[in-house]
Structure formats: structure tokens, C-alpha cells
Structure 1
Amino acid sequence: MCCTNGKVKLPAFESPPDPLHSLIFGTSPTSKHFLSHIQEYNTPFQMTSFGVTKFIRDSFMPMFKGRFIIRAGSLLPFPDTEPQFLQIYFVGNSNDELNRRCAIAPSARRQIILDLQIFFHQHNELVQLFKTALDLMPSDNHRIVIRANKTPFGEHARRFNAPTIDEVAIVIVGEQFLSRDNVLHRRNEQLQRVSELHRSYNAFKYPLLHWKDDDGYHINIPMIDPRTGRDIPGKTVSAMNYFSYRIMVRPQEDNFILRCGKLFHQYAVYMYAKIESERLNYLRFNQAALRSEEYIHLQDAIVNDGDVNNIGRLKILPATYIGSPRHMQCRQTPTYRHDITARVFRQKLKALIDLIIKLRVFGEVRCWMYSIERQKRELPHAYILIWLVRKITPDQIDSIISAEIPDEIADPELFEVVKKNMIHGPCGAFNLNSPCMIDGKCSKRYPKALTSDTLAGDDGYPLYERRSTEDNVHTVTVRMQNQDIEVDNRWVVPYSPLLSKIFKAHINVEYCNSVKSIKYICKYVNKGSDMAVFGVAADNSHDEIAQYQIGRYMSTNEALWRIYSYPMHERSPAVFHLAVHLKNGQRVYFTNENVQERVARSPATTLTTFFQLCASYEFARTLLYSGVTHYYTLTAQKTWQRRKKGTAVDGHPGLFYAETMGRLYTVHPNMVECYYLRLLLENVVGPRSFEDLRTVNGHLCAYVS
């Protein structure tokens, strides 16, 4: 997770000198003020402008919607125009420079801005580089090219020493630069987009974090062999590797960016946006070469000397890409450290799953699934659905789930947990602005009705026992909007006393006893990633990648969760998708270069290799297509081979059974022949070919009569 088993080794962040060090690490009122307004202090020193579809600052943590773009202008403004961003560094008069920065951050303290201004002129190597470059640019035709990745030198290839201008930048008049280089004019009206792969991308936007212009991520950082310390040929550090390394806590390093509160939150979202951009760019720039078509249509095109450029569809955004349309996130407080929040939540979730699955606190589990969600509410929560081997009977519900306030004297620990985490609202007349209030009513249907016994409900959930105060039960006083409110069992969210005491968190436990309630929970588990509703301009182009980038919402916590490569959902048993297609109807992926090879060799699928398996092995001829995954696994060469682990099968030495479920892809009834083919595969045991599948008593039948 943090260093890819020692293959990633980056230079440590250098702790800044004063005054920045005192502002970040200090305990004075000035330091506290600076940290609480650190985003505002970063803004006047940014060297680039920032563009995003939507930025939500009035939130528990910053949230972004859509694409991220940063743009750089020229080094000098035109006469009679106001200098902006990088241009402010070269105003020439320190007092004028200070006034312009203070105008950008009106609530910032002038003395802090002045101290930081002097600090950056002394220590920021980008500022010094630009000053040197201006002296070498006699006319507006000159430009400075900042190399996307300079050549490392010194004792170690990954120790980045202070650069000279010749190593990282050149001053030119012509077009001698690469696409990833950052090119700045001496004076020009146009803004240039800064490549996400530029080594100074982060330093342009976050001068307080990259105060010295230390190199950020670029595509030529090599991985190293942890045994020899040498570069691994052909292996480079990905953006995911780089940033997961950067945000880890290490004993001998003072990773000061983790102390930077809301600026670190914003930075984390930037980091994941860069990771995602790297992945999406691969998909975008390989669209023209990689196309798909049914094998039979590609075969016909080649036989008839057709133009392969005219067939095939763009394979736009794969179902394997998380969040795509086909895919079904000392004075420090938790609000400052979403890196820790994400890691702790992951560990607690694993512990909860182990408690339910391995320790069987509710009984033996047949299968389970969960999904992580934030719903643009910023902090993570999990929806977990479990199926038990032995169903819970109504008379057992009260021993597992409670909807009452516990006795403070008998169990003070549970009482405090329920008081803090399991009281809904209160809403309604007590708080009309509660998030659950819709059209003047609580969408969660609180307060609940009081009942002396647990009863079956109309909506698939039971009416849990909620006794009234007349039955000598307990109440609790909660503080809301500067008033004390006494609440009873009507406001308690159903919980498991055991889980609540162990995890001391909000864990809502419900008994699902109907298809309706299970479908409701499954909807949450399978609904997919957070997306935003956005307007669509008139445009005939269809770009799923762009639509995904525009519509996504990303918060700090989800960004860090994804950087750590934590799963967004899990389930057990595993489900393996099985192809369904007519003969020569399988999808084939091809490029202009390999199209002849693809036509000459029919591509194997799970279905065609299942036919081969049934033709070769007697045991396979006893299986339905959907049952093959219990006993066989699919190799990289698209052949079925026997499982090597699992439960031994009696009478078949060397054969093992596993719980992995095979699921045939859904086929719409409008695709008549393929639809009936799927029905046959669900009912015919051990077919050896497409023809054998529809042969009855020696007679070859049609799919549709």
C-alpha cells in the first residue's frame, strides 16, 4: 500500500525553515490562525489559475465536481493590465507586491503575507528560475520552457538536488519543446494548460506545500529493486504508487503536509484527480487503435476485402473502471486527518466483517456483500447485506436487535454509545432544518410508534419493541440548538448491543424478512459511485470518459480511500461472469495491425472453452454451464482447468469444489436467438458444441420454430 514492497523510494519532504515552519508547527495564536485559514494564505502565492466545474468550500471538507485544469499565463503583464498569479512575483516593488497579495486574501493578516512573500523570494527555486530567465529574455518573442522531467543527478538518481536553469529550463524563440513541457511567454495574452504529468504541477498550485519546488510526480520515476537498490528496467512509479507513498506516516520523517489541515484535504483530491487522469488518458489515447466487433462481422469484412476502418465500435470506458457507467468511495482533529480516517475506517470495516463472517455472531453466513458510500456527505459508511444459513425467527429478534435506550446503571458503556450514536435527530418540531426533513415530514419516519412487543411490519421490517415510559423504561437527554431535549425509545435507531459496544460507532442493524426490504438494501449496495446531476450542452459527440469526469464528485476522504487502493465493495462468494453468444458471435478486439491474425484465429470465450471441456472430460458433461465455476477456473489462455483448492469431490480424485458462482450475462428478449440460447444453457447439461446444445433425439432444432 505504501511503498509497493520496497520498490518505491522517494526523497523525504524537506521540512520548511522559518517563518513557515513556525506557522505550521507552532502553538502561538498566530500559528492557530494561519492553520485555520491556510487555504486563504496559499491562494495569493499560487503561480497558476485553477479551473474546476464546481468547488464546494462551505463543507466539512472541500469537494470538487468535474475536471481539474490549471493554466499558466506569461511572466509579465501587458501595460495597463493588472498582474495576476505568477506575474505578481515580478512586480518589482515589494510593497506593491504585498498590496496585491493582500487584496487577493482580504481576511489574511498583512504581516503573515509579508513574511511568506520574503520567504518565497528567498527559497522557492521556481521564482528564482523565472527571475533568471527574465534577464535572458530581451523581447516578447522569447519563451521559457520548463522541462517536464529534468535529469536527476548526484549520488542517487532519486535525490533531487537544487537545479540550475540549464538543467530544468531553456529560453527559446522557436518551437523546441515537448508536449508535456510547460512553456511560458515573456508577455502574452494566452493561458497555457499545465500538464498533469509536469514535475512542477503541484508546486505551481500549492506553494505552501512545495515551498522549494521539490519535484512532484512525473512518468519517468523508476522503481528500484529493494535487494540491490538499483533501478528495475522498464518499471516506473505510477501516480498511485507516488501519492500513496507521499501520504504515509514514517518514523524518521516529519511529513509536514499532513499537518496542513484543509489545504491537505484539497491537495488529496488533486492527487487522486491526477491518478484518475493518468488512467483515463490511457483509455482516451488508445481509442483509435482498439475497436471491437462480433467475430463473424470482422471475418466477413476481411473475406470481402472490406475496410476495417469502417467497422467496429469504440470501447469507450470499460466496466472494470470504478465509477464508469457500466460499473455497478498535536491540535490535530479527525477533520484534519482524512488519511487516518480512511485507514481506521478500513480496519474497523474488516474487523466488523470478520466478526460477522468468521466468528458468526449472528450465526453461520451463507453469503454477504457490502458497498462503501459517501453520498456527497463526505465521511464513509458501509451498507452490508448478509444471508444466514439458518434464518432468524421472530422470537429471536429481541435477543439480537434492540430499539430501546439501555439502563445507564446496569450498562453505562452501552448507554453512552447509544446516546452519542444511535439517537435519530430529534427532528420535526425540534429541528425543522434536519437533513431528514422532506416536505415537513421525517423521511425516516421518526418518531416511531411505541409497542410493547416486536411485531411484523408491512414494509418488510419488523416493528421493534419500543416500550413507553409508563413501562418504567429509560429516557435520555440530548443537546440540540442550545436546548436540552428529553427523548424516549421512539427516537432510537435499531442497533446490535454487541456491535455497538465493540465498535462504539453508529451501526444500524435491521432484520430483513421480505423481498422488498432485501431489494431496498441491494439498491444501496449496487447503485454505483457518486455522480452529480449536470447540464448537457448541444453536442453530437459521445465521450463517456469526458462525461464521467464532468459528472463525478470527489471528496477528500474518498480521494484518500482510492489512493490507498481500498476496495469500494466486496462480496462472498465470488461471482464469475459467463459469456453468452451465438456461434461466431463473440466480441473480438482488434487493431489495424492485428486484424488478419484475429480473423485467422477465432477468439476463445468462456462458452466455447466450456464446449471443449465437455467434449474432453466425462465429469464436465454432468455440469450446467453456470456450474462449471464451482470445479474449474479460467486460465489466462482461456481454458478451464481444475481447481487446486476447495472441498474434495467424492469419487473424483484431484477434483475440488468452491463456492464461486457462475452467472450468465443477461440477454434482452429482443435478441431472440441469443435469448433462447441462454435458456438452453441454463437447462442443458454438458453440451459439446452449439449444435449439440440444440440437438434433441438426434434432431438438430432451430432456436426459434
Structure 2
Amino acid sequence: ADDLANYRVTLNLDHRLDQRRYNVPVTTKVAAVWVEGNERRKFEPSVTIYGNNRTRKCIQPFYGYYDPLSYPLFFPRGESGWHQGLPKDKITMEAANDHHGDDPDWNSMIRVSVRDYYCYKFQMRHGIFNPILHGRRLFQQFAVDMYIKVESSRLDYVRNNQKEIRADLYQGLMDSIQARESPASAVGKRTVLPASFVGGGRNMKRRYMDAIALVQKYGKPDVFLTMTSNPKWDEITREFEPGQTPQDRPDLVVRVFRAKLEDLKKQLFEKHILGKVIAHVYVVEFQKRGTFC
């Protein structure tokens, strides 16, 4: 911008904050904390710009300059990150900002989704240096931060399209009465997650009922098979850069695990290495190793 000299960038300069949280990390894992009751809050901005006249501007995660301001080491040239109007290849910016942009089908055809954008950023390309894949713990933080952005965009869509998922059938005064909520403050409008939203209550119930239906029709399962990911697989370790560990490359670990999972499914369901499969159910779990005293 022409008036760039009139602004300054402030990063966590509030002295009331606990500065210990900004010390050098002592663990190899990064996690996100979701506070109960914050379901209706937007993603909190982490970068604030103040003008010389003390005007304040919060950088929202769906702005193109959120990523370079939050992670300057990954965007040293100030490249724009993902934004809602990012066009696909061979699509002009004018077409991406066309009035049809409110149509989900039109939007998916001409605009890059937040998920597709960060899948692209995490790709390995021979001969091209990707600073994100060399960020180690900062890469972990970036991955968690961007996943929250992806999940927030999905929740925003659900929140803004309650009529399309027929949420009126699952909310309202009758639901509150059936739940025996007598205080008036407890009666309100609920945001309902569709059954297609992975991890939601309806999605989990549907998967459970499907599994029970298979047992009811075909009987108890004959084989219980467990596959565990090993971060020391040769397919993972041989792709490391010098000095890297499995904790530094979570993208590589999950990518190899996914490939091996798909190969195992092909061996079981197409090549029938354990016999012909008439029904199956499987789930992928992420477990954290703990120590006991």
C-alpha cells in the first residue's frame, strides 16, 4: 500500500500476558486447546496493526496477509496466503469475485478452498525448497493453526446454512422442553451439525448404527485387525532432510501411513488374502504415548 509507512506491526506486546508461554518449547508436540463454551466465537486474530493515529486493525485468518504476518519465516517475501477469493489456475480474479460467488457449486469450481490450498503448501517438490517443511516445531504449530482455520470454515458454513440441513427439525422450544430445561436462560437456538460433519454427534451415532446393523445382518466379526504406524519405516526415514526427526515431519508420517492403509485395504478387500470379505468396519485413531509413575 502507498501509506505503508504510516503503520506498524505489533506482535504480543501486552505485558499483562504470561511471558513464560513464549519461551523456547520443551516438548516435541504441538496441540490446540478448545475452551468449552467458545463454539460461537470466531477464530481469534493473532496479529494486530496499529496506525500512527492509534487506529487498530485486526488481521482475520481469512485475509490473504494473515499467513505472512503470523509466520514471516515461512513467507519471507511477504507472499499472500489463502483468502476467500483465491482463484484456481486459469481463472481470473474478476471471475472469482463474480456475483455467482455465493453459490457453493460455483464457488468450488472457480475458487481454491482453504483445505486444498494448505494441502498444496505441504507438498514435497524435488528441487524446490519449501521452508514450511523445514520449520520443525514451527511447522507443527503452523499445521495445527491451519487445521483450525479449515475446521472453522466448515463450522461457519454449517452455522450459516442451518435451513439447508433442516436444523429446524432438531432445535427450538420443544427440544428444550424435552431436555427439561426449566430456566428461561437455557432455552435458545442450537446450531446443529449435519450427519456428514466428521466428529459431530449425529455423525458418530450414524457410524455406530451402521456398524450395529452389519453385526445384526452378518453376525459377529471373525477378524479384528490392528495396524499401527511406525515412524521408523524406511519409506519415512529415507525422505528426511539431514537432522530431521519424525516429529519434524508429521506430514510425511501421515502420508506414508495413509498409503500403507490403502494398500492393506486392497490386499484384504480385492485380493482376499484372509478370505472373501462380506462386510467390514474400520476406524483410524490418533493416540498419544504416555508415561506412568
Q: Shorter chain as normaliser: what TM range?
A: 0.5 to 0.7
Q: 2-side partners of 1:216 and 1:284: how far apart?
A: 25
1:373 to 251, 276, 285: 285
Residue 34 of structure 2: SS of its match in structure 1?
strand
Larger radius of gyration: 1
Q: Shift in Å at residue 257 of structure 1?
A: 1.3
Q: Is 1:316 the equivalent of 2:192?
A: yes
Q: 1-side partners of 2:28 and 2:258: how far apart?
A: 20
Stretches of structure 1 lacking an aligned partner (at least 5 in a row): 1-44, 76-133, 144-182, 185-191, 295-312, 379-432, 438-705
Q: 1:267 — aligned with what?
A: 142
Q: Shift in Å at residue 323 of structure 1?
A: 1.2
Greater percentage in helix? 2
Q: 2-side partners of 1:249 and 1:350: how far apart?
A: 20
> Counterpart amino acid of 1:357?
F
1:49/1:322 CA distance change after superposition, 3 Å: farther
Q: 1:223 — aligned with what?
A: 88
Q: 1:208 — aligned with what?
A: 73
Residue 269 of structure 1: SS of its match in structure 2?
helix
1:284/1:60 CA distance change after superposition, 3 Å: same
Residue 148 of structure 2: SS of its match in structure 1?
helix
Q: Shift in Å at residue 282 of structure 1?
A: 1.5
Q: Shift in Å at residue 325 of structure 1?
A: 1.9
Following superposition of structure 1 onto structure 2, how do residues 99-248 of structure 1 map, counting pairs within 5 Å?
A: 137=52, 139-140=53-54, 143=55, 183-184=56-57, 192=58, 194-224=59-89, 229-231=90-92, 234=106, 235-248=110-123
1:334/1:293 CA distance change after superposition, 3 Å: closer
2:243 to 331, 336, 339: 331
Q: Shift in Å at residue 252 of structure 1?
A: 4.4
Residue 369 of structure 1: SS of its match in structure 2?
coil
> Counterpart amino acid of 2:193?
L
> Counterpart amino acid of 2:68?
A
Q: 2:31 — aligned with what?
A: 63
CA deviation vs aligned residue, 1:167-200 (integer Å, no higher than 9, x gap):
xxxxxxxxxxxxxxxx43xxxxxxx4x3121112
1:48/1:239 CA distance change after superposition, 3 Å: farther
Stretches of structure 2 lacking an aligned partner (at least 5 in a row): 1-8, 36-42, 97-105, 171-188, 205-241
Contact kept? 2:167, 2:192, Cα under 8 Å: no
> Counterpart amino acid of 2:65?
S
Q: Shift in Å at residue 354 of structure 1?
A: 2.0
Q: 1:350 — aligned with what?
A: 262
> Counterpart amino acid of 1:61?
K
Q: 2-side partners of 1:63 and 1:282: how far apart?
A: 24
2:155 to 241, 259, 280: 280
Q: 2-side partners of 1:277 and 1:367: how far apart?
A: 34
Q: Shift in Å at residue 212 of structure 1?
A: 2.8
> Counterpart amino acid of 2:259?
Q
Contact kept? 2:159, 2:191, Cα under 8 Å: no
Q: Shift in Å at residue 239 of structure 1?
A: 0.3
Q: 1:250 — aligned with what?
A: 125
1:367/1:199 CA distance change after superposition, 3 Å: same
Q: Shift in Å at residue 207 of structure 1?
A: 2.0
Name the % identity: 28
Residue 245 of structure 2: SS of its match in structure 1?
coil
Q: 2:181 — aligned with what?
A: none
Query: How many aligned positions are there?
Result: 201
Q: 2-side partners of 1:198 and 1:74: how far apart?
A: 13
Following superposition of structure 1 onto structure 2, how do residues 360-399 of structure 1 map, counting pairs within 5 Å?
A: 360-375=272-287, 377=288
Q: 2-side partners of 1:72 and 1:358: how far apart?
A: 51
Residue 197 of structure 2: SS of its match in structure 1?
coil
CA deviation vs aligned residue, 1:456-500 (integer Å, no higher than 9, x gap):
xxxxxxxxxxxxxxxxxxxxxxxxxxxxxxxxxxxxxxxxxxxxx
Following superposition of structure 1 onto structure 2, how do residues 580-659 of structure 1 map, counting pairs within 5 Å?
A: none
CA deviation vs aligned residue, 1:382-409 (integer Å, no higher than 9, x gap):
xxxxxxxxxxxxxxxxxxxxxxxxxxxx
Q: Shift in Å at residue 65 of structure 1?
A: 1.8
Contact kept? 2:140, 2:250, Cα under 8 Å: yes
CA deviation vs aligned residue, 1:610-649 (integer Å, no higher than 9, x gap):
xxxxxxxxxxxxxxxxxxxxxxxxxxxxxxxxxxxxxxxx
Contact kept? 1:199, 1:217, Cα under 8 Å: yes
Greater percentage in strand? 1
CA RMSD of aligned residues (A): 3.3
Following superposition of structure 1 onto structure 2, how do residues 509-588 of structure 1 map, counting pairs within 5 Å?
A: none
Q: 1-side partners of 2:275 and 2:158: how far apart?
A: 45
Following superposition of structure 1 onto structure 2, how do residues 410-425 of structure 1 map, counting pairs within 5 Å?
A: none
With normalisation by structure 2, the TM-score equals 0.59
1:49/1:366 CA distance change after superposition, 3 Å: farther
> Counterpart amino acid of 1:355?
Q
Q: 1:47 — aligned with what?
A: 11
Residue 126 of structure 2: SS of its match in structure 1?
coil
Contact kept? 1:334, 1:341, Cα under 8 Å: yes
